[in-house]
Chains A and B, each alone.
Chain A
């Protein structure tokens, strides 16, 4: 049977009749296409899927998916999605957010949904800029970057989404690049299968206000040398010629070339996404150019009880013991007298 598995849905089944209004060339288009393919592959029916967003360019996404969708208010998508999932844990809930929506105005809800480990699939579109309000710097904009609200360059230190996720005790973190469809879909499928808050940082380009936001790694000719796609259980090898790898050098990661200085494949670190200790995941997620590759793929994927399941389990446990089943039973528990 496994070999003849047929897909119940196609990407088309998840396309709504709405015209997609993002700018031509915006990275969001590619992420949307990947998501629709992934939803089809996952086989969860559109009516059992809920896509919840906040405000911003990326938060328009629910209009383009033919499932149940809710475009809410700025920064609050994580809290609304928490309510949806806790109210009905049977639903597959996707939260669509951006670097401003999630990490500025919605920062509090983000860290708490991650801390609680609500079973949400969070696509965090990071283009390091506010697009919908037309070009102000965001919490992930690189220091010194000139934007409309920082004409002399920002003087702020940016957030790193992974660091924040791990600081909030996140159980899942992946990173994808808009134009790398294969990795994008792998990340989304893993996120959907992971039970708990799955944070997927989507590196997307903003052609209008921050063109080339991720240009250093996005160019196809350099991508293999400047990124490493991590896969659980596989050695951390990358490069056009698959000859580079990561090793530990004291407490730090180091790039080595296989075949040089006595390095062979066996000496390369093997990725363990399921390791409870997030130290190495953090090191991997924070690698930056030009000396280190940017880590892509599923960096952390740890099993932990979800909040929504824990809420249900506690209710079931109390209900099994309690004599109070109905409102009238509840009334009977009162100290009561005749008058």
Chain B
């Protein structure tokens, strides 16, 4: 009989770490989906190495996947891991500082040999001591490689193929540790390897052996139970990455608007997965041009917008810089266009695989002339669906370019996503010319919203010439008349400001009656929310106002912010949103909490800072 004791937990963070060839992303994804199916909330974050295939066992090649699961609301992939699975010493070294006191390290004892220590640049043969790993952390050496070898004896695979399955042994062991029945994991594997029966059989065998290894060994550690989440609204769910959710939001918007979806794109980390997702959706009629450069990415899209498609371009920081002039053309031609910037560490090439929020001012102001655009920012991976949809809706209804800011953290990370139905999504009504308007000028617009009417080639009676030169407000002809230019500048500005009439009000999360207000925007929502909730739980009064609509701001922004005595703007840059708010909200002293390390906030550091400020 199994005498292993069981501990109940509200939430737990597991980090899988190994060589980029060790299959850690797959293992992590399977484990997190498995947990979600059993009713847990999940949030995950993959941590890819910047090198494609660094030499085996070296620090540069370490690939990680962190999952946070819980029986309550989960907002982030977690700061530190309760359980680390380390496939080699390099993985241990990279993650040594990110393990909780009292946590568990499961490692492949077969890969902890002298030569492995050298590869990971250890100077001794005791990596744990060298790293100063706390005694409170329990070490579980497991000979994953040799156990996998014996598990697959008789399959006739070469050693390399055999060892590729050791991640499944680790997964089996983790399933046992967290009391996860492996049936569902087997179901996932069947979906993945269904067409390769031998491989499927092998992976299932190793997974099962891993599970029973834990079970039979009566390891002197506690297994964990994490109850189903009761805070999650009922419904059908999947887990989705921000980049995939972005792509699907665009697909949904195109179908809702009755338009063809067009993407002009040039590969750039960490935005490329959006293109991958869309180009695979030819069944949905999506047209993707992989352009010759970032400029062609956006200008092909502007052509498609001119021709009547829901036109989109996606990129990351340096690409947004290259697209600046063309965004100005879309502003001037008043065409609907969605520009997605999955922000990464900058400036210049910067840190392509790391996250940052440093493109905000570029998005708002990075163009010549008075060139206002709508700017949105998604807060979580699943949020990307909603804001990609809303970016499309605003672009089409208000005839303006819209920049949607996401980032490497939410773009690559995953969260639970309640599956939507198209019918439940808000209607999208592009601002087309109307029958009877034949012969109208290119500048003809709705005098209230200032949105230009969209006439699309192929339609008789609406032929017109558009372009980047200033036009006369009435006739639409090229014009340099001084007061007309100012009128046109003002009308393009008014058009963007008018969008605020359709935005939801800024809402306060946490303790509304607090004196202190935390302000955030975009992909930091999870960390800020967790910090504020944790502090509220222990009786500390603090509130959060998180922005997804940046330009224009929600109408009640000033009123809300002015209610608080102390306001701190938290962002992963040197204070860009704080600068913006200072120009928009009078009479408020905006304190700042900034981090520019290519890493998300940690909840711990936020709580510490907020407590000090209070």
Question: Using a CB–CB distance below 8 Å, which chain A residues touch chain B?
Answer: 16, 18, 45-50, 52, 62-63, 66-73, 76, 79-88, 90-91, 108-109, 112, 311, 314-315, 318-319, 322, 324-328, 330-331, 334-339
Known: A86-B262, A88-B458. Contact between A335 and B33, CB under 8 A? yes
Q: Closest residue of chain A to B462, judged by CB?
A: A47
Contact status B33-A73, CB under 8 Å: no
Contact status A87-B262, CB under 8 Å: yes
List the B side residues contacting A16 at CB < 8 Å. 465
Contact status A79-B296, CB under 8 Å: yes
Known: A62-B465, A87-B308, A336-B236. Contact between A80 and B284, CB under 8 A? no
Known: A16-B465, A331-B420. Contact between A83 and B251, CB under 8 A? no
Contact status A325-B283, CB under 8 Å: yes
Q: What are 29 A-B interface contacts by the 8 Å CB criterion?
A: A18-B465, A46-B463, A50-B307, A50-B457, A63-B478, A70-B306, A71-B468, A72-B299, A72-B329, A73-B328, A76-B296, A79-B264, A79-B296, A79-B299, A80-B299, A80-B303, A83-B299, A87-B287, A87-B303, A87-B307, A91-B457, A91-B458, A109-B292, A109-B296, A112-B291, A319-B282, A330-B251, A337-B36, A337-B236
Contact status B188-A335, CB under 8 Å: yes
In the assembled complex, the Cα of A50 lies from the Cα of B302 at a distance in Å of: 14
Q: Closest residue of chain A to B254, judged by CB?
A: A327
| B289 touches A (CB below 8 Å) | yes
Interface residue total, chain B, C-beta cutoff 8 A: 73
List the A side residues contacting B304 at CB < 8 Å. 83-84, 86-87
**Interface 9-mer from B160-168, B227-235, B599-607:** B227-235
Known: A48-B457, A67-B463. Contact between A336 and B307, CB under 8 A? no
Contact status B326-A73, CB under 8 Å: yes
Q: Closest residue of chain A to B184, judged by CB?
A: A337
Minimum Cβ distance to chain B for residue A323 (Å)? 8
Known: A71-B467, A318-B282, A336-B419. Contact between A86 and B300, CB under 8 A? yes
Minimum Cβ distance to chain B for residue A239 (Å)? 43
Contact status B464-A68, CB under 8 Å: yes
Known: A72-B302, A82-B289. Contact between A328 and B421, CB under 8 A? yes
Give which listed residue, A18, A47, A81, contacts B303 with CB less than 8 A.
A81
Q: Closest residue of chain B to A321, judged by CB?
A: B283
Question: Considering the complex of A and B, which 7 residue pairs feature the smallest CB-CB distances, nearest first?
Answer: A83-B303, A71-B467, A322-B283, A83-B300, A87-B304, A79-B299, A87-B307
Minimum Cβ distance to chain B for residue A54 (Å)? 10
Proximity string of chain B (163-201) to chain A, C-beta cutoff 8 Å, 1 when within and 0 when not: 000000000000000000000000010010000000000
Give which listed residue, B191, B229, B248, contacts A330 with CB less than 8 A.
B248
Contact status B291-A79, CB under 8 Å: yes
List the A side residues contacting B468 at CB < 8 Å. 71-73
Contact status B293-A108, CB under 8 Å: yes
Minimum Cβ distance to chain B for residue A205 (Å)? 24
In the assembled complex, the Cα of A83 lies from the Cα of B187 at a distance in Å of: 43
List the A side residues contacting B358 at CB < 8 Å. none
Q: Is chain B's binding surface mostly helix, strand, loop or mixed? A: mixed
Known: A70-B466, A319-B285. Contact between A88 and B307, CB under 8 A? yes
Contact status B237-A73, CB under 8 Å: no
Known: A47-B463, A88-B307, A91-B307. Contact between A71 and B469, CB under 8 A? yes
Minimum Cβ distance to chain A for residue B174 (Å)? 19
Q: Closest residue of chain B to A69, judged by CB?
A: B465
Contact status A45-B296, CB under 8 Å: no
| B301 touches A (CB below 8 Å) | yes
Known: A67-B463, A68-B463, A337-B37. Contact between A76 and B238, CB under 8 A? no
Proximity string of chain B (6-48) to chain A, C-beta cutoff 8 Å, 1 when within and 0 when not: 0000000000000000000000000001001101000000000
List the A side residues contacting B287 at CB < 8 Å. 86-87, 311, 315
List the B side residues contacting A90 at CB < 8 Å. 458
Q: Closest residue of chain B to A52, judged by CB?
A: B303
Minimum Cβ distance to chain A for residue B135 (Å)? 39
Contact status B300-A18, CB under 8 Å: no
List the B side residues contacting A18 at CB < 8 Å. 465, 477
List the B side residues contacting A70 at CB < 8 Å. 303, 306, 333, 465-467
In the assembled complex, the Cα of A224 lies from the Cα of B458 at a distance in Å of: 42
| B461 touches A (CB below 8 Å) | yes
Proximity string of chain B (289-326) to chain A, C-beta cutoff 8 Å, 1 when within and 0 when not: 10111011001111111111101000000000000011
List the B side residues contacting A87 at CB < 8 Å. 260, 262, 287, 303-304, 307-309, 311
| B3 touches A (CB below 8 Å) | no
Beyond A83-B303, A88-B308: 8 further Cβ-contacts under 8 Å?
Answer: A68-B465, A70-B306, A71-B466, A72-B467, A90-B458, A336-B419, A338-B234, A339-B237
| B255 touches A (CB below 8 Å) | yes
In the assembled complex, the Cα of A112 lies from the Cα of B293 at a distance in Å of: 10
In the assembled complex, the Cα of A108 lies from the Cα of B300 at a distance in Å of: 13
Contact status B252-A327, CB under 8 Å: yes
In the assembled complex, the Cα of A80 lies from the Cα of B419 at a distance in Å of: 36
List the B side residues contacting A62 at CB < 8 Å. 465, 467
In the assembled complex, the Cα of A69 lies from the Cα of B309 at a distance in Å of: 16
Of A45, A76, A108, A315, most buried by chain B (CB within 10 Å of CB) is A76
Minimum Cβ distance to chain B for residue A213 (Å)? 26
In the assembled complex, the Cα of A69 lies from the Cα of B237 at a distance in Å of: 47
Contact status B457-A47, CB under 8 Å: yes
Contact status B282-A88, CB under 8 Å: no
List the B side residues contacting A50 at CB < 8 Å. 306-307, 457
Q: Closest residue of chain A to B264, judged by CB?
A: A83
List the A side residues contacting B293 at CB < 8 Å. 108
